[in-house]
Each structure stands twice: as C-alpha cells, then as structure tokens.
Structure 1
Amino acid sequence: MKTIGFIDYFLDEWHAEKYPAWIEEASGGRLKVAYAYGKIDKPDGLSNSDWCAKKGIKLLPTIEAVIEKSDYLIVLSPDHPEFHEELSELPLRSGKPTYIDKTFAPDRETALRLFEWAQTYGTPMYSSSALRFADEYAALAKDGIETMHCSGPGKFSNYSIHQIEPVVALMGTDIERVMYTGTSRFPTLLIGFADGRQAAVNHFGNPTPFGAVVNYASGDAKALKIESNFFGSFIRNLVRFFETGEGGVDPAETVAIVTVIEYGLKAAQTPHQWVELPAR
C-alpha cells in the first residue's frame, strides 16, 4: 500500500472529507490517505486534530513531516488558492508526485512559478477542476467547435473554474481577451480566442446544474446537462497519475485557465469592455 499526505489550509472542508474514501475505493485499497497537515483550525468548525481523529488519519505538525512520510502528496485548500504557493513550495521541491487542488493559483505569475519549481526539482504535478473529466465533455469532438456557452452555480471567484476548465480543454489555450457582462450577482464572462471563436461562462443562482451548449462550424450543436459522476472520473485519473505517472493536465492549459480567471476578475471592474490577456 502507498500512502498519501494531505496538506491543507484547514482540514475540515468538503474535498478533504470526501477524497480519502474515494481514493481508497478507486485504487482497490492500494492507496490510502494516511497523513495530514493543516495550517490553521477551521474557524467555527472541527479542529485539525478532531478532524483527523474522526477520519483515522495521523495529524503531523509540519509540511516537512507529511512529505517525509508520504509516497504521494495532495495540496488542498480548494477555496483558498492564495495559500497554494506557501503550501506547495516544499512539496514541489520534494520530487514526489503532487496534486494541487482547484483553483491552482490566484494569478498567472504564481501559476508559472509553481510549474517552474516542479520542473526544476523534477516533481510530477498537475491541477484540475473535476468537471474536466465529466463523461459528457469526454464524448464531444473537439474539432470544429466555434462557440461554447456554459452555465453553472456559484461565485465567479471560486466556481468559474468549473466552466472555464472544460472550455480550455475543448477549445484550446489560444485565448486573446475577455469581457465581463451580466450583473454583479449573476455574472457572464465572454472569452475571445485569437481566431474569432468565442465561449461564454454564465453564473446563475443555486442550484443551477452545470451544463453547456456547444456549437460547431458545421451548424451542428450539442446541448449538455452534466449528470455523470465527474468526481469519480477525476479520482480515477488521480489514482492513475500517482501509480503510473500518466494522466494529469497540460501545464499550458492550467496556466491559461488561471489567466482567464485573473483577467476575468479585472474585467469585472470595467464591464462590457474587452480586456486583453498577456502574450503567452
């Protein structure tokens, strides 16, 4: 059995709660989350020690201790990407396969630095929204997509990745500009590609399901409601990455996704105006 170590801002959160059982099931017991570190105790939640006692996971006092004892590493903090650089630096210098949870980084500059550390120290690493692995997206042909109009719930700041990730996975990284429209409560982001193709990310009220309409240059269209077990597909990809080194996500796609989110937030300050992205 190989062991996984969690490194988190605080451990009492949904991803940390669900991943251990899912990983053990998907790996047939070959992988087990055995160690964990949390930077702080969750405000108004379980302390890290209480959370670990409940889950049967050993709490360790430092990131270094988790790295030393674990075969593989998962940096969590899914809703606090501003801590990913601090939490990920030592893992990315360790050479041990590391997954960094969504959203990968708060900005393009940080994303590039994290990938540079991984490359310099030979650390296999990737990050992704689980929505990338939905069966409905996997079944689509990529060639000929002209526009893609996505919808889903949540705030743009931490939920837009679940729509932008499939857009980049299907349409590529050649993104030139973004425009923020919609309202402050229900935003829309237009994503303009260099060749004129376009995508739209729309945030509606809860509990709006994730979905998309994909239009092809041929005139055909596909309307999708995401109903498959995308977390199950993601976890299987994660297990494959740890066990074989295969799977994962192209770093260029992850950097593009972070860049769109960063500049989408900037575009919110000047609605209905195109904001140019930095040259790749």
Structure 2
Amino acid sequence: MSKKIGFIDYYLDEWHANNYPAWIEKASGGAYTVAYAYGEIDSPLGGKTTAQWCDVMHVERCESIDALIEKSDCIIVLSPDNPEQHWALCQKPLRSGKRVYVDKTFAPTAQIARDLFALAEENGTPMYSSSALRFSKELAELPEKDVRFVLLSGPGKPENYLIHQIEPMVALLRARPVRVLYAGVEGAASYTIEFADGKLGVANLLVEGPFQTTVKFADGAVVPIAESTETFDRLIAGMVRFFETGEVQVDARETVAIAAILEAAHKAEAVPGEWVAVE
C-alpha cells in the first residue's frame, strides 16, 4: 500500500503542485502518492479553485491543515512563488514530527529561515528545502575539488528565480557569504556575491535563456556548463529518499545562508553599485 503525501499550498493551481504528483508516483514506483491537499486560498491568477484542482487531480481536499497532517504520512509545503506564506503554512507541519519538504524559496529573510529550522528541531520534525537547480546532472558530475569562482546565468525575475542561481552557487563555493553588489539594465540584473576565503559568485538574470554555469577551481581548471538537465528528476528522487529514510538532502546551514544572500540581494537592488552586507 502506497504512503500518502499531503500538499499544503497557498493556492494549489500552480506549476509545482500541478506536476509533482505524477513525478513523485513515477520516481517512487507508486510507493508514494499525493493523496491529500489543502489550499489557503483559491488561485488569484484566474486558475482552478481548490475544489476544482482536487477534483481534476483526484486528490482528497482537506478543510484544515490539522486534518491533512493527521491523514498524511509525509508532507510537502508548496507555495513556491509566495515564500512569505511559508512561516504561517509551516507552523503546524513543523510541529508534527512527520517528514516535511518545503518548496523553494524557503524564506524571505534569514531570521525566518533560522526560526523555521529551530521550530522543526524543537519538535523532532525532519525537514529541508531546495531549488531543483542544486541537483542538476551537470553539477553532480563535477569533480570534488575546491571551487573559487562561479558565474551563473538564467531566466526569470529576481523575486522567484534568483534562488535558482544562488542555490547552486552556495552548494559549489561552500563558504560563508559576506556581501552582495547589484547592477542592472533593462531586461537583465546582475548580483556579485563575495564569500569568505576569497571566493566569488556572480548571478545574472536575463529574463529569457537557459541556465548556464561556469566553474573555476582552485587548481585553475575552468568548466563551462551550457545547460542544467535532470533537475526536477533528481529533486523528486531525493525527496522520495527523504520520505523513505528521513535523511535530509540539504544542510540547513546552507539553506539559511541562501536566505541571507537573497535578503541582502533584494536590499542591494535599492542601492545599485553599493555593497550590502549579508547578515
């Protein structure tokens, strides 16, 4: 009998909620299925209502987060484009003791990120969060060597897509972020992040285009990566492993560092050309 996953979302008719159920069932060979869902509001984008979404997806609608937690074996908190909702949506799941995956972007500030991890730890709730871009096939195949510099570029708007470049940057550089510098022109934004130990990362948002990465190692070797593939396949496979074993896939300290960089980056947007400290 398959294990039952509960979705908690701000609103359910969004890309992640629409695609995760089939991907999870495929990745787990049917061992895990999305069986329950709770939406805080109906889609404000003119999409399906919570009831309509549940009907189409063949998922049981729960009228409360409490009811969903009681029925579910493990939980996914979604709201990928509204991270400001994660604090409220996570309060009960992170007290449940059940395994919880929280979708990107984890938290709008570093302090909220720290508080969410503290809440999970206090209640013995295994939990992690990540952007799918951390898990690309190309990054996984890089040699285990010291990385000094990372240059990334990709599509999207800063408020919900900068995470997809900062996540792999932090995973590769493995150092404490210090400060952020922003510069931008029409249709493009650039963020330079200085790390401890003389490391540097640059993230460029180009609105359109593939995710590309250039990595320079301490030994001078440079590896250009033209695209990022298998990102969601590997994210979902890791999520299933987590639900099965309880072993988290991403260190909480990295997730807090990512939140801190994003917080500083958004502050830096208001003062182009000036360094903003990562706190």
How would you bin the TM-score normalised by the shorter chain?
over 0.9
**TM score, norm. by length of structure 1:** 0.97
In 1, the alpha carbon distance for the partners of 2:188 and 2:91 equals 35
Q: Secondary structure at the match of 1:10?
A: coil
Q: Which amino acid letter does the alignment assign opposite residue 97 of structure 1?
A: R
- TM-score normalised by the chain length of structure 2: 0.97
Amino acid at match of 2:205: H
* Matches for 1:43-62 after TM superposition, within 5 Å: 43=44, 44-62=46-64
What displacement does 1:46 show?
0.4
Q: 1:254 to 1:184 in 2, by over 3 A?
A: farther
Deviation at 1:247, TM superposition (A): 4.1
Displacement of 1:147 in angstroms is 0.9
The answer for the alignment partner of 2:260 in structure 1 is 259
Q: Which residue of 2 aligns with 1:95?
A: 97
Partner of 2:73: 71
Distance in structure 2 (CA, Å) of the matches to 1:260 and 1:142: 24
The ranges of structure 1 where at least 4 consecutive aligned residues each deviate by more than 6 angstroms after the TM superposition are none
Q: In structure 2, what residue type is equivalent to 1:135?
A: K
- Tell me, yes or no, if structure 1 residue 13 matches structure 2 residue 10: no
Q: After superposition, give the CA deviation of every residue in 1:68-88 in whole Å (9 maximum; x if it has no partner).
A: 000000000000000000000
1:133 and 1:247 map into 2 onto residues whose CA distance is 14
Query: How many angstroms apart in 2 are the aligned matches of 1:214 and 1:191?
Result: 15
Does 1:276 find its partner at 2:277?
Answer: yes
Alpha-carbon deviation of 1:233?
Answer: 0.6
Amino acid at match of 1:53: D
Gapped regions of structure 1 (runs ≥ 5): none
User: Against the structure 1 CA distance between its residues 81 and 184, is the aligned structure 2 distance closer, same or farther, given a 3 Å change threshold?
Assistant: farther
- The CA deviation string for residues 46-100 of structure 1, in whole angstroms up to 9 with x for no partner, is 0000000000000010000000000000000000000000000000000000000
Q: Distance in 2 between matches of 1:65 and 1:184?
A: 47
Number of aligned positions between the proteins:
277
* 8 Å CA contact 1:60, 1:66 repeated in 2: yes
- Equivalent position SS for 2:274: coil
Residue 215 of structure 1: how far off its partner (Å): 1.2
Contact 2:128 2:248 in 1 (8 A): no
Is the 2:152–2:202 Cα contact (8 Å) retained in structure 1? Answer: yes
Alignment partner, residue 249 of structure 2: 248
Which structure 2 residue ranges, 5 or more long, are not aligned?
A: none
Aligned pairs for 1:1-280 within 5 A: 1-43=2-44, 44-183=46-185, 185-206=187-208, 208-278=209-279
1:112 Cα offset (Å): 0.7
